[in-house]
Structure 1
Amino acid sequence: MVYKFRVILDNEDDVFRDIAILSDDTLEDLHNAIFNSFGFDGMEVGSFYTCDDTWNQEDEISLFDTGDVLGEQKIMSDYQLADILDKENTKIIYVYDFINMWTFLVELASIEEISVGAIYPETIFSHGEMPEDSGEKIFESDMEQENYNEFEDDLDDDDLDMFESDNNFEDFGFEENWN
């Protein structure tokens, strides 16, 4: 069987590729097809993440074994596409280059018969140009920093005076050298 995927760049720009690949190919084969179809050089690593129907990220499937015990962790080459994707489970997230965090939403669009003479994997449709950078991603720690900055803005000068470093700990009810 042939799996046809729509691979959408998670970015403000409308950029996606449609890729046809055999259902018994591996996630590593899909990884290669994705970075080739988007014009990456393949010099960076990537990971797939299982997800639910609303794209909430779940388990990581990495390109290389990064576990503490070699061989304990399953990697992309251990999974055939049909092992994790089917008519009910159609979505997976792909992240390429962990410095730039190129993030793609990968959805199984159809399952079809093999076309005689076709070579798989194949980019069957391409829309949009890749932007220069992956765009700004907001992570939880960034949101925590934003919340801290909002808290700090609410403090006035009198509140901040008590944090001056005059080392006068008597005002706080304990001794400087308590131990």
Structure 2
Amino acid sequence: MVYRFRVILDNDVDDDVFRDLEIRETDTLEDLHNIITQSFGFDGTEMASFYLSDNQWNQGEEISLFDLSEDESARLMSETLINEVVFEMQPKLIYVYDFLSMWTFFVELAEIVEETHGIDYPNLMFLHGQIPDTAPEKSFDADDDYDDFDEFEDDLDIEDYDNLDFDENWN
């Protein structure tokens, strides 16, 4: 079977930028990484990771290009088949390329189809939009609330030891 993915550059850009790709279900996430980097014009030499995602695009387990962990528990792209992590009930991944620039992409399974004879896979089916020169700036909702934060809001007098709920002889 062949998986058709739409890979969308993070929506913090002015214009829509996406690629539609086909890849065999038995290829690895490293193969998917390679076609994504090639289709967006990256050289593919930077660190990258896929993250499992739910329907709200929340970032889950990391599957990395290289093993940087001290233990052996990290999942690697080269050892992970696409059909092990993507299927109809879990069709979304987040892909981050170049951790200094933080190029972030939403990868969604569009459909699963029969393999077409005569087509080489992976296959770039369609491209839309030009990737900007630099990665889009990330905006976080918490940044808006930070301006209203006052660390001294509680009027706590740290000199008033009698009214602090603190046991001086705790040990």
Calculate the TM-score normalised by the size of structure 2.
Answer: 0.82
C-alpha distance in 1 between matches for 2:56 and 2:140: 18
C-alpha distance in 2 between matches for 1:112 and 1:127: 22
- Partner residue of 1:133? 134
State which of 13, 18, 21 in structure 2 corresponds to 1:19: 21
Deviation at 1:78, TM superposition (A): 1.3
Offset from partner CA, 1:24-66 (integer Å, 9 cap, x none): 0000000001000000011211100001111111111111112
C-alpha distance in 2 between matches for 1:64 and 1:47: 9
Note the aligned Cα RMSD (angstroms).
2.3
- Partner residue of 2:5? 5
- Partner residue of 1:93? 94
State which of 25, 30, 33 in structure 2 corresponds to 1:31: 33
Give the unaligned 5+ runs of structure 1.
156-171, 175-179
* Identity between Structure 1 and Structure 2 (%): 49
C-alpha distance in 2 between matches for 1:96 and 1:151: 33
Offset from partner CA, 1:119-167 (integer Å, 9 cap, x none): 0111110000011111111358x739x61x4446x99xxxxxxxxxxxx
C-alpha distance in 2 between matches for 1:80 and 1:173: 61
C-alpha distance in 1 between matches for 2:88 and 2:62: 21
C-alpha distance in 2 between matches for 1:75 and 1:116: 30
Q: How many residues align?
A: 155
Deviation at 1:173, TM superposition (A): 6.7
For 1:26-175, list aligned pairs within 5 A: 26-69=28-71, 71-138=72-139, 143=143, 147=146, 149-151=147-149, 172=159
Give the unaligned 5+ runs of structure 2.
154-158, 162-171
